[in-house]
Amino acid sequence: MSDIGLTHGNYEIFNDTLTLNFDGICIRKEYNWANEVDTSAVDYFITDTLLSSFTHRYVTTGCGEKMKLVKVSGDEVGVESSKDYQSFENFLKSEGIIARLTDMMKRLQPISQSSQSSD
């Protein structure tokens, strides 16, 4: 398995524009390369990170029978997958990523509410 990174957020589709709004909650599962020489080392590290929120906007265009996303800044992204959303979600659940994300969101909720009430 390769490294996995998941950042929480939401999306909006309007006409031909896809907007991804990320709140900065990030979970990463990274391979521990030390395990290559020391088999007693853990296989993976799972880390929680809180980043600044950010937004990405893409305009969709056709590319034959496929869809191409062009970032408003000019970068192009091609997305191709033989898996559907449900199989990807099941994979994230089996790896413990969804549970970790849910737990982190619960821990951060009181922080968000208390910072909003002090304004």
Region 80-109 average pLDDT: 79
| Residue-wise pLDDT tens digits, 46-93 | 888 888 888 888 888 777 777 777 788 766 556 666 667 788 788 888
CA neighbor of 49 nearest in space, from 32, 25, 70: 25
Sorted by sequence, the CB contacts under 8 Å of residue 34 that are 6+ apart come out as 41
Contact (Cβ atoms closer than 8 angstroms) between residue 56 and residue 69: no
Domain-wise residue ranges, the chain: 4-114
